[in-house]
Structure 1
Amino acid sequence: MTFRKDRMLIIPAVDIRNGKCVQLVQGKPGTEQVVIDDPAGVAERWESLGAETIHVVDLDGALGSERNTDILKEITERVSVPLQIGGGIRSKEYASELLEMGFERIILGTMAIENPEVIGDLSGEYGSDRIMVSLDSRNSKVVIRGWTENIEHTAVEMGRKLQEKGAGSILFTNVDFEGLLSGFDPEPVVELVNAVDVPVIYSGGISSIQDIEDLQKTGAAGVVIGSAIYKGRIDFREALKYQELK
């Protein structure tokens, strides 16, 4: 599955921690506001409601804990739409394992930033469409290691660099808004979209249909939505009506 310029995909998030589907505030452990058993069942539900792709995050892997490998495999077996996976992918071997497990696209964060050459290696082997890089921004600087460590580069600087290394798309998360259901700032999204030639998917703070309409104007190729659809702030089926750009 490739992203298209005439659409903005609405992508539900399935974040996994301690074997359950959760939603955290700004990615901080202990701030769980949603906890649901059976993450694979949750993913199946989003597919049944019309999701064309699903965003999966292994939060335990991202935070350096034991990975939820069995659950990830179960999701690939129970869901038929394309899946993208991020969280704790810190070796080329594990990246390959996930791609061969059945995930359509992997999302590389810390590893891609610290060792950009791995992007080209994986893109060469599997195709750049299957390699997404994650740029998480807090106070206008990129953060890594599960949002626990800042680096002195902006998302635009890193986006240009990682695109050149072979990344096929970018997931841009504004951590300042993540999980707060407070809306989002379109300016850094527009800045990044205009700075790179690959699709940019946005995540962070989307809390209303109006936010989705505003995001359409930025040129983003997709949006990952978590807390708002779990808490009923956005009706997922209504949101899907905004996939087609006007």
Structure 2
Amino acid sequence: MSFHKNRMLIIPAVDIKDGKCVQLVQGKPGTEQVVLDDPAGVARNWESLGAETVHVVDLDGALGLEKNTGILKEIIDEVSVPLQIGGGIRSKEYAGKLLDMGFERVILGTMAIENPEVVEELAAEYGSERIMVSLDSRDSRVVIRGWTEKVPFTAEEMARKLKARGAGSILFTNVDFEGLLSGFDLKPVTELVDAVDIPVIYSGGVSSLDDIGMLQGTGVRGVVIGSAIYRGLIDFTEALKYQDIE
């Protein structure tokens, strides 16, 4: 499934930790605010409400632990809309395994930035549209390794480099606002959309329907929503009304 020019997909996030669906504040372990027992059931529920894509994050994978494979397979078996997955994809082999398993798209973070040739190799093998690169920005610089380490590039600079290597889309997270439910700054995402001609998906700090409405004017092709839909701040079915950009 490719992203459409006149649509901004509303994409629910299913974050998995210790076999459960959780939501963390700014990605920090120990800040769980929502804990649900059945990640596959949660993903299935979002599909039944109208989600056209589900965003899966393996938080244990992000910490270097590969222990949720059974749950990931369960989600693939039970959900029929396209699934994209990120979190701890540290090798080309593991990325390939996830794509072969049935995920529509893998989201590469630290590995893509440190070893951009892997993006090139995966894009050549599976097609650019199945390779999404995650650019997490803090204080206008890209951060890696679970947001603990800064690299000397802006998101726009890094997006251009990785698009040239074959990345088919960008997931942009403004870490300054992630999980805080406090809104966000439109300027960084607008600059990124203007910098590259591949789809940009936004994540981080979306906490109201007004926030989604603001993003409509930026040119992003999708918005990932986590905490706000789990805590009832955004009614997911209402959010879906924003998918078609006027």
How high is the TM-score relative to the length of structure 2? 0.99
**What aligned pairs does 1:215-234 form with structure 2 within 5 A after superposition?**
215-234=215-234
Q: Distance in 2 between matches of 1:98 and 1:189?
A: 28
Cα drift, residue 160 of structure 1: 0.6
Q: Are residues 1:178 and 2:169 paired? A: no
**What aligned pairs does 1:162-173 form with structure 2 within 5 A after superposition?**
162-173=162-173
**What aligned pairs does 1:146-161 form with structure 2 within 5 A after superposition?**
146-161=146-161
Instruction: Describe the superposition over 1:78-132 as per-residue Cα deviations: whole angstroms up to 9, x where unpaired.
Output: 1000000000101111000000101000000011000001111111111100000
Determine the structure 1 residue equivalent to 2:89. Answer: 89
Q: Distance in 2 between matches of 1:29 and 1:149?
A: 17
Determine the structure 1 residue equivalent to 2:46. Answer: 46
Q: Distance in 1 between matches of 2:151 and 2:109?
A: 12
Cα drift, residue 15 of structure 1: 0.3
Instruction: Describe the superposition over 1:164-212 as per-residue Cα deviations: whole angstroms up to 9, x where unpaired.
Output: 0000000000000000000111000000000001000000000000000
Counterpart secondary structure, 1:118: helix
Q: Distance in 2 between matches of 1:29 and 1:225?
A: 19
Counterpart secondary structure, 1:241: helix
- The one-letter code matched in structure 1 to 2:216 is Q
Cα RMSD for the two superposed structures: 0.6
Q: Distance in 2 between matches of 1:184 and 1:219?
A: 16
Contact 1:43/1:54 (CA < 8 Å) preserved in 2?
Answer: yes
- The one-letter code matched in structure 1 to 2:38 is D
Contact 1:8/1:222 (CA < 8 Å) preserved in 2?
Answer: yes
- The one-letter code matched in structure 1 to 2:157 is E
Cα drift, residue 153 of structure 1: 1.1
Determine the structure 2 residue equivalent to 1:199. Answer: 199
Deviates more, 1:228-237 or 1:142-151: 142-151
- The one-letter code matched in structure 2 to 1:233 is L
Cα drift, residue 64 of structure 1: 1.7
Determine the structure 1 residue equivalent to 2:25. Answer: 25
Structure 1 unmatched runs, 5+: none
- Number of equivalences: 246
Q: Distance in 1 between matches of 2:18 and 2:130?
A: 27
Counterpart secondary structure, 2:5: coil
Determine the structure 2 residue equivalent to 1:243. Answer: 243
Determine the structure 1 residue equivalent to 2:76. Answer: 76
Percent identity (aligned)? 78
- The one-letter code matched in structure 2 to 1:99 is L
Determine the structure 2 residue equivalent to 1:63. Answer: 63
